[in-house]
Structure 1
């Protein structure tokens, strides 16, 4: 008795589908396990693409190896300078704050005792005694602080290891990336290689233009913040300006976050005058940045709708945190360029197929 061929075909279909699903699940699980190095690779690739413009410009004046070294040294100086400006004042003032906490507690107690209404509240809840006990116990909490600093130190070491790894990967990609790209394109048919080369070139130009625009925008935000804070006499003007510039690199929400942080600091300076002046300035500057600076510098580089920018930032931040939010817009711009080029190629291919079909039909008729 012969077997039904349909049963054999069904069995093969079920087997193929099962194997495919298992392979996809296994692949996704492998990507999940390797998410950290894959994320580092994506970040390194983005940085290398962003630096390819300066490297190419310097390569016309010196050997490519020297150009890469000089560019990477310039990039390395940026975080070093930022840390040198931000960290020392914070550590210095933090130490002073810890030393003066008992004095602040005594001042708070005198202030409460001089106010009849606050004194009644204090008699009911014993606030001043709790504040004094907390201030006196603060030196004994050095062990907890040491443990916290140890945990922070481990995090810093891990971050430094990740940064060094990414830095090395960037150097390799800058040095060998063009050769790898040419080898990949050499495996493709001539027409496809030409299209892929044009797409990759446009993606690189978009990323480079976006990064240059974002850095210039952050620089303007930092400089203007420093000028305003210096005029107002706000302490930590330079560190706050650096933090504002760094936050400004985050699309859509970064400038607002930076303004809020600076606004909190102004509360402790000359409240409410300095705070009101800063809030008015921040609102005016963000309007100028959003309607004048950002459209001219960034939107022309990437050409993404604001809703797409927000969605890309949310996705990038969910996947990779702050680095993902920073990379989201240029990555989305690259995907948009690739999708448009693919759609153009597909449309032209379909038009060519219809033309050939029409010619064949006319010849047959």
Structure 2
């Protein structure tokens, strides 16, 4: 093997020359071109990853929704389980008693509401139809829209809804999937309440080095965020339902209890749920008592929601859930498109927990400031 005058072998010189060509060509490009190529490659990788995650989420939507709902209930019921454990109740009976308490509350509240409002839901539908008719008259009298054009738009919307309605076979299959998901969620809820902490400790014991501390901190922050969101959302929804329900009673709007129940359920879907529930209440007030009562109902709904958004939510949620309203709208819309109403319910807590975990890991891995 010979060497050139610099003491390097010809093979080494040839290899370096071969690798130096692309580097010199890349270095010779203008910096805007280098930046555009780099960001385009990163964008392609990110979009491909998001597309794959979306396909997986659509395929596993029932499992993902059941798992997310189970984690939501676990975080909500965790204080009850801890109270039973402090009273020296073993893990398995404590988890079973917690689930039975949940089922008892749901069945009791559902039976009470049904007995009080079952005869009023038919009237609620009629009141909504009358409210829509009055709104239609208001639109045609104040806006440059004729009755024929408005009827055509309404007919197109109805055709779209009826065209998207599932057939009986698909409906039966969906009902079977829902029943299976509920059974799966109850069984998984029992095991998470019974062995959730021991499972987490098992995961941490399998990690070594600094990853254990980062994972433990991220897990604590994520679990705290989910618990704060679940309990805070329930409290805020109950306060909204109580406030709007009292306003409807004072204004003598009929069907106050069903409307309060709709408001409570809508509180679990941020922004969109409150808007829809408030619109239903205003329509019923318009149909029952006229535009003056409808305007007063609208003012009451806005006042309650402003108090909830500016005072109660920061006080109850504190700083555990930090998502911009625009992000919440996007997340709720994406969850609805993927899994319907169930996706709308669980999309925000998933996004909040994911953001808090990523933020915690990022802060741990970032170098300390000088």
TM over 0.5: yes
Q: 1:218 aligns with which of 218, 224, 237?
A: 237
Q: TM-score, normalised by structure 1?
A: 0.66
Measure the CA separation in 2 of the matches of 1:42 and 1:49: 11
Shift in Å, 1:193: 1.6
Length, aligned pairs only: 285
Residue aligning to 1:69: 96
Kept in 2, the 8 Å contact 1:44–1:166? The answer is: yes
Within 5 Å, which residues of 2 pair with 1:13-92?
32-61=58-87, 62-88=89-115, 91-92=118-119
Identify which range, 216-225 or 326-335, moves more after superposition: 326-335
Measure the CA separation in 2 of the matches of 1:165 and 1:31: 18
Residue aligning to 2:262: 243
Asked if residue 195 in structure 1 is aligned to residue 222 in structure 2, the reply is no
Q: 1:314 aligns with which of 326, 329, 333?
A: 333
Measure the CA separation in 2 of the matches of 1:168 and 1:80: 18
SS at match of 1:250: coil
Q: 2:194 aligns with which of 170, 175, 189?
A: 175
Shift in Å, 1:90: 5.8
Within 5 Å, which residues of 2 pair with 1:138-153?
none
Query: Over aligned residues, Cα RMSD in angstroms?
Result: 3.7
SS at match of 2:236: helix
1:269-311 alpha-carbon deviations (Å, 9 max, x no partner): 2223432221121122222122111222235221223333223
Residue aligning to 2:45: none
SS at match of 2:326: helix
Shift in Å, 1:330: 2.2
SS at match of 2:288: coil
Higher helix proportion, which one? 1
Measure the CA separation in 2 of the matches of 1:278 and 1:268: 12
Question: Structure 1 residues 94 and 180, CA, compared in 2 at 3 Å: closer, same or farther?
Answer: closer
Residue aligning to 1:295: 314
Measure the CA separation in 2 of the matches of 1:304 and 1:322: 20
Asked if residue 228 in structure 1 is aligned to residue 247 in structure 2, the reply is yes
Question: Structure 1 residues 179 and 92, CA, compared in 2 at 3 Å: closer, same or farther?
Answer: same
Kept in 1, the 8 Å contact 2:67–2:185? The answer is: yes
Measure the CA separation in 2 of the matches of 1:55 and 1:271: 49
Identify which range, 150-159 or 182-191, moves more after superposition: 150-159
1:182-208 alpha-carbon deviations (Å, 9 max, x no partner): 111111104322221121111111111
Question: Structure 1 residues 271 and 31, CA, compared in 2 at 3 Å: closer, same or farther?
Answer: closer
Q: 1:254 aligns with which of 270, 273, 296?
A: 273
Q: TM-score, normalised by structure 2?
A: 0.65
Shift in Å, 1:160: 3.9
Measure the CA separation in 2 of the matches of 1:43 and 1:320: 13
Measure the CA separation in 2 of the matches of 1:295 and 1:95: 38
SS at match of 2:188: helix
Structure 2 stretches lacking a partner, 5+ long: 1-14, 19-49, 126-166
Q: Which has the higher contact order (CA 8 A, sep 6+)?
A: 2
Residue aligning to 1:328: 347
Question: Structure 1 residues 70 and 235, CA, compared in 2 at 3 Å: closer, same or farther?
Answer: farther
Measure the CA separation in 2 of the matches of 1:295 and 1:65: 36
Question: Structure 1 residues 193 and 225, CA, compared in 2 at 3 Å: closer, same or farther?
Answer: same
Measure the CA separation in 2 of the matches of 1:81 and 1:274: 33
Measure the CA separation in 2 of the matches of 1:33 and 1:157: 17
Measure the CA separation in 2 of the matches of 1:28 and 1:291: 34
Q: 1:185 aligns with which of 204, 207, 222?
A: 204
Measure the CA separation in 2 of the matches of 1:196 and 1:55: 24
Measure the CA separation in 2 of the matches of 1:48 and 1:239: 28
Kept in 1, the 8 Å contact 2:229–2:321? The answer is: yes
Identify which range, 57-66 or 179-188, moves more after superposition: 57-66
